[in-house]
Structure 1
């Protein structure tokens, strides 16, 4: 009986069953991979949102802290007084460029306290200053008046605030009292600024707030609340329009968040200070809130993810995972179905494919690991950038140099690693490079400044390499911190410059010393000759009066020669001095009318005297002569029109090459005249050297002052620059004895 092969039941459906099983397994694996990719995308969105919210809260707090520092600077400028010229306040405002550098700060002003009994006098004084319509508003009677007496920029809507009494309004008054009693900056609650057009003019009125910093009277105690209330003379303040204040915060990512800021706890529109202009009504996936305390007042910041941020959710990768997985599953199912009849062959093929894939995967993983180990242990920072200018790779060296972790840095705009002035040029140059691949920085190291997370500029050496990315070009860069090298170069340059300056100073000192010895000898002998001539002329006058006129002319010439000799001896430090204990501030008071006459009617004299000025031991007559000469020089330097500042002070000197260590009284005469170039300053103390026209000066004033200061145990210093005026400072030793010291021996004649 012939043998026969009996087929197994259902064996004809086995290939189909195997193909379906393979497809089911790949579908499950694809679903798991898709779920993982979806979770990863959600996590990245959450991390981006968390970073944006933290950055926004930090930026708001930092901006308000910066504005508080602006007020502190303004208070320091006032020096304990709100009696300030309007032009000086305007110059200070323009110098800070607040309108350009501090968005949202509507103005910088001074609120002055006006006693109730002095209201009329205050308004009259302001009108005399050129404000005929000035009046404190509101006009109703009250116990305490304040007025905005200074505000910059002085124009536009800020004119509505000029003269306004902010203390009359409860919200502003609460902040002003809090600042007065604490001595710190205080932020008001929500207000509508006086600058806003309440009549419905062009532009929507913005919510606002004001920050106040108290100004206490100079020299008055302010350690307790009672003392601060007694010492208060006014406030420096800044009004903020919230929409303007928030403008620019967030930078290129400002549309990623829908923001609301409330004064204190959220209570609807009554507490709402700010709402993002691009806020939409969509249901946000993510939300967060935080509080900041600018000026001691709580602001609640509510943030939601915007439609633009949620649109950046990476949905492409999960979709690709699903499509790829299903496609591969379908292909594998077809392969299994086609090869099911050749089970061994199919198994071998599957094993070979699996082995090849595993080997390829292991090889790629090993290569990636090797590259990662090399980059992580590289001594320099490594940064890779794609064709869009975004950071794609970041090693440990980069984290150490720039201060951002890899998670924080990847995805950032590479231009953020450069200082602000260089970013626009970098973006333009990189866009051209990404299209064509041409860059002058390729290959050779280039020195430039980079910016770390704290805003510190770091000198660095950057080596750039081209990185093809799709149809464009990215770049890789190794960044090396060369701070120590630059510091060493700077120290060497400073050392060389110091050596040059020391040599020049030594040469000038030796020159002056030689001139002084020569001048002293000549003046000494010349003085002796003049004594002989004077004595003989006086004897002739007693015996022969017929030539009296000529003899008197000879005596006059002898007196002028004696004066010249005295000035030359002063320079040579050989003049006879009669030192006494002198209070320089009292001496200045006695000389006030004399100095004013010497300066002229068109010169304004300003004296700055500390309350506890030390005494000094000098010849008062010689000191008066020196001060008169310095004032006349200052007058001539300003062509007889300007301001001369006489400043007295106490200083302690250590480590000065020309002055012995100890205490000194300084007398400084400053003008705003033409100033002196360096070559003129080097010769300024030489006898007979002058820059004045013929017949306008002898050239002995500064040389006499130099000799007097040195002979008195002190020194004289010049500080000047062309077009910036000149300051002459005399150092005189402090006198600590109860009785005047003996005068130095007179020079021999």
Structure 2
């Protein structure tokens, strides 16, 4: 975390009159005629003049003192606000990081809690969780013990070398769990080994919430099992559910059925808060309460300076905020500590007051002397002139010091006058924008912005220069600026107002955040690829489940059809007469044949159809199918074929491949036919492809190796994403009723997978669809067969 320290210089413009008067006094001594001042007749007039001057200067001193005091209080308030925001962010960030630790542990488990203890110990040791994550008391696994398996579970653990192992519970619960793995396995953590957290209401509420939502859940205030009888401190636990691999978790009931345990981490609050705030941790007195109510029952943490004696002292500044770690509300109350309040600048107001009072008395005395004796007044005036000159030199030195600081600041600094022109420019600004200080000073600041933002900037800055109000004041703002070559640079801008006469100018610190933006973009792309991989995995699991169900049903249905067919054929042999009953039997036999074909299609999707693979050259197979493909496509559609001369052979069932290709051509024809005129183009492109490690696509189902690709591309209407996701599901079709069975792409999917390859679909509404089949390359030397046989189209 980078902290920007902004030093704001307040210019002090001293009039040059005293210095000129001092020079004039040295150059021209007073004449004898002017050495005497005629005094009024009354001796009380000098005293009245001195009292009047004293009154006026004391009023001015009080005004300056009040302004300095308000400025010091405002600076203290700004520091307190920054510390509180940083503390709340640090707590939220630390809890988010620990949640990621649990997610990494769940990913390591891969859907099971049955893991070797040495593997779990090695995982904890390699991550060095005890050194890198303060407050993380342990990392453990809570396993669910099925009903009736408690004794067997205890016996199994005892056989692993823990003869005294027994499940501990605080009372009967709806289910039984046990802490079966915990690292580091020693010290206080041994007290938690075998503890049934599900039997304790507070822990059970968090475990049930994690189980039902699938997200991390934080418990309420508890005393950890690891704590001894003395010096107990409040603690919390964070749970993340572990679902059985391969089971659906889309609904609450599915998640409850799939749960096998939890990966969890206990936290001692005092250890968890250790190190937060860094060097400024003593600036705040902190209390953290569980929930919105505040009291000793909900108190999770109280810093050492927030003790009872400390709370008796009224804090100058207080703030409260709520955060939601693990879906649970924490109320964080922060007060300014004595250390922070001691940083309040009381020296400057005191200096202003002492200096003002001293100058008031001195000026009053001077007026009295001037009224009483001019010579003594001239001597005092000379002394005052010398003092003012020294003060002016001090101000010049201070200006030089501030200039050195700004010139060497890590961020670009610039100042603008009321017209929006640049008046100050440091070295970092030259490195960022490319203009030297000589070239930049006097330039309109709107030239640093993109063209489309300049008019808005000019309008907004004119309003700010008049009233001093702007939404960008104080808080950093992200935007883009241009360097002298027109290159856009993402920056973080911190703006402060600068009073100039009866209007306002501005000062700004500009930080280049190009690297941060690039890191955020990389993280966003990584998350997008991760989400795409998850979606592909879900689709693959869905098709796998549907395929298993479909294969079983189709197999049983096919057996029933064989029985019906055999009986009908026996009845036909027994009755050779031509009568209505025989026609009905023939109709039944025809229906059985259609049902058998339907069962074959379902078995093809389920990858359970009988295949007769031979070595096939797909290019020669397409040449043999040319007339059949043209008839299937129709006269109004152009069919194009492309193939490389060195196309690899593949080992597949040629008849099934012909059937799949013909179905894809018919689907492409129907997609084109939904247009306005039915004209279009179908391209059958063959090719060789090599899939490397990690290039198996979103689902990762394609093993590395060489493949022959068959891509069928149409110029039809295309598919929206929701339709494309369901395209391979059996009986799903976008065609009108009676125009298709919805098994064409399902058969193609099952055939490709059963042949050792895969099938991919790419579609975009308005541009068409491409279906690509990957068939494994055949490396054995054998006679290549083009394949032939009757192909039955299915849509």
For the Cα contact (< 8 Å) 1:580–1:740, is it kept in 2?
no
Q: Deviation digits for residues 155-184 of structure 1, max 9, x if unmatched?
A: 000000000000000000000000000000
Residue 25 (str. 1) matches residue 52 (str. 2): no
For the Cα contact (< 8 Å) 2:708–2:775, is it kept in 1?
no
Residue 54 (str. 1) matches residue 81 (str. 2): no
Q: How far 1:235 sits from its partner (Å)?
A: 0.5
Residue 117 (str. 1) matches residue 148 (str. 2): yes
Out of 721, 744, 748, which is 2:781 matched to?
A: 744
- Residue 248 of structure 1 corresponds to 275
For the Cα contact (< 8 Å) 2:286–2:335, is it kept in 1?
yes
**Change beyond 3 A, Cα 1:371–1:116:** closer
For the Cα contact (< 8 Å) 1:653–1:663, is it kept in 2?
no
Q: Distance in 2 between matches of 1:295 and 1:121?
A: 34
Q: Distance in 1 between matches of 2:156 and 2:696?
A: 51
Q: Distance in 2 between matches of 1:376 and 1:406?
A: 22
Residue 235 (str. 1) matches residue 262 (str. 2): yes
Q: How far 1:399 sits from its partner (Å)?
A: 14
Q: Deviation digits for residues 578-605 of structure 1, max 9, x if unmatched?
A: 99689xxxxxxxxxxxxxxxxxxxxxxx
**Change beyond 3 A, Cα 1:363–1:171:** closer
Q: Deviation digits for residues 182-235 of structure 1, max 9, x if unmatched?
A: 0001100100000011x33xxx10101111000111111000001000010100
Q: How far 1:311 sits from its partner (Å)?
A: 1.4
- Residue 208 of structure 2 corresponds to 177
Q: How far 1:91 sits from its partner (Å)?
A: 0.8
For the Cα contact (< 8 Å) 2:412–2:426, is it kept in 1?
yes
Aligned 1:43-442 pairs, distance under 5 A: 43-138=74-169, 142-197=173-228, 199-200=229-230, 204-279=231-306, 280=310, 281-341=312-372, 381=412
Q: Distance in 2 between matches of 1:288 and 1:324?
A: 36
For the Cα contact (< 8 Å) 1:664–1:734, is it kept in 2?
no
Q: How far 1:20 sits from its partner (Å)?
A: 2.1
For the Cα contact (< 8 Å) 1:617–1:734, is it kept in 2?
no
Structure 2: segments with no counterpart, 5+ residues: 1-37, 415-423, 433-471, 477-490, 494-509, 520-611, 617-648, 653-687, 710-754, 759-772, 785-795
Q: How far 1:325 sits from its partner (Å)?
A: 1.2
For the Cα contact (< 8 Å) 2:142–2:180, is it kept in 1?
yes
Q: How far 1:375 sits from its partner (Å)?
A: 5.8
**Change beyond 3 A, Cα 1:267–1:339:** closer
Q: Distance in 1 between matches of 2:513 and 2:321?
A: 37
Q: Deviation digits for residues 80-127 of structure 1, max 9, x if unmatched?
A: 111100011111111111111111111011000001211111111111
SS at match of 1:11: coil
**Change beyond 3 A, Cα 1:366–1:91:** closer
Aligned 1:458-473 pairs, distance under 5 A: none
**Change beyond 3 A, Cα 1:230–1:50:** same
Q: Deviation digits for residues 509-558 of structure 1, max 9, x if unmatched?
A: xxxxxxxxxxxxxxxxxxxxxxxxxxxxxxxxxxxxxxxxxxxxxxxxxx
Residue 15 (str. 1) matches residue 46 (str. 2): yes
Q: How far 1:284 sits from its partner (Å)?
A: 0.8
**Change beyond 3 A, Cα 1:108–1:394:** farther
SS at match of 1:312: coil
**Change beyond 3 A, Cα 1:90–1:616:** farther
Q: Distance in 1 between matches of 2:697 and 2:207?
A: 48
Q: Distance in 1 between matches of 2:430 and 2:283?
A: 26
For the Cα contact (< 8 Å) 2:412–2:427, is it kept in 1?
yes
Q: How far 1:58 sits from its partner (Å)?
A: 0.8
**Change beyond 3 A, Cα 1:354–1:662:** closer
For the Cα contact (< 8 Å) 2:650–2:775, is it kept in 1?
no
Larger deviation: 50-59 or 277-286?
A: 277-286
**Change beyond 3 A, Cα 1:332–1:274:** same
SS at match of 2:361: helix
Q: Deviation digits for residues 231-261 of structure 1, max 9, x if unmatched?
A: 1010011111011111111111111111111
- Residue 67 of structure 2 corresponds to 36
Q: How far 1:745 sits from its partner (Å)?
A: 4.8
Q: Distance in 2 between matches of 1:35 and 1:265?
A: 39
For the Cα contact (< 8 Å) 2:650–2:776, is it kept in 1?
no
**Change beyond 3 A, Cα 1:109–1:343:** same
**Change beyond 3 A, Cα 1:262–1:738:** closer
User: What TM-score comes out, normalization by structure 2 length?
Assistant: 0.48
Q: Distance in 2 between matches of 1:63 and 1:223?
A: 29
Q: Distance in 1 between matches of 2:57 and 2:182?
A: 74
Q: Distance in 2 between matches of 1:116 and 1:399?
A: 73
**Change beyond 3 A, Cα 1:15–1:9:** closer
Q: How far 1:268 sits from its partner (Å)?
A: 1.5
Larger deviation: 328-337 or 341-350?
A: 341-350
Q: Distance in 1 between matches of 2:700 and 2:512?
A: 49
SS at match of 1:117: coil
For the Cα contact (< 8 Å) 1:616–1:733, is it kept in 2?
no
Q: Distance in 2 between matches of 1:291 and 1:312?
A: 27
Q: Distance in 1 between matches of 2:249 and 2:49?
A: 91
SS at match of 2:193: coil
For the Cα contact (< 8 Å) 1:180–1:229, is it kept in 2?
yes
Q: How far 1:266 sits from its partner (Å)?
A: 2.8
Q: Distance in 2 between matches of 1:59 and 1:399?
A: 34
Q: Distance in 2 between matches of 1:661 and 1:164?
A: 44
Larger deviation: 338-347 or 223-232?
A: 338-347
Q: Distance in 1 between matches of 2:133 and 2:777?
A: 57
Structure 1: segments with no counterpart, 5+ residues: 1-6, 384-392, 410-451, 455-477, 488-577, 583-614, 619-651, 669-708, 715-731
Q: How far 1:617 sits from its partner (Å)?
A: 4.1
Q: Distance in 1 between matches of 2:282 and 2:425?
A: 27
Q: How far 1:482 sits from its partner (Å)?
A: 11
Q: How far 1:381 sits from its partner (Å)?
A: 3.9
SS at match of 1:116: coil
User: What TM-score comes out, normalization by structure 1 length?
Assistant: 0.51
Q: Distance in 1 between matches of 2:132 and 2:696?
A: 46
**Change beyond 3 A, Cα 1:378–1:79:** closer
- Residue 719 of structure 1 corresponds to none
Q: How far 1:50 sits from its partner (Å)?
A: 1.0
Q: How far 1:139 sits from its partner (Å)?
A: 8.2
For the Cα contact (< 8 Å) 2:221–2:235, is it kept in 1?
yes
Aligned residue pairs total 446
Q: Distance in 1 between matches of 2:410 and 2:297?
A: 57
Q: Distance in 2 between matches of 1:306 and 1:44?
A: 15
Q: Deviation digits for residues 659-699 of structure 1, max 9, x if unmatched?
A: 9999998879xxxxxxxxxxxxxxxxxxxxxxxxxxxxxxx
Aligned 1:484-633 pairs, distance under 5 A: 617=651
SS at match of 1:247: coil
Q: How far 1:291 sits from its partner (Å)?
A: 0.3
**Change beyond 3 A, Cα 1:396–1:90:** farther
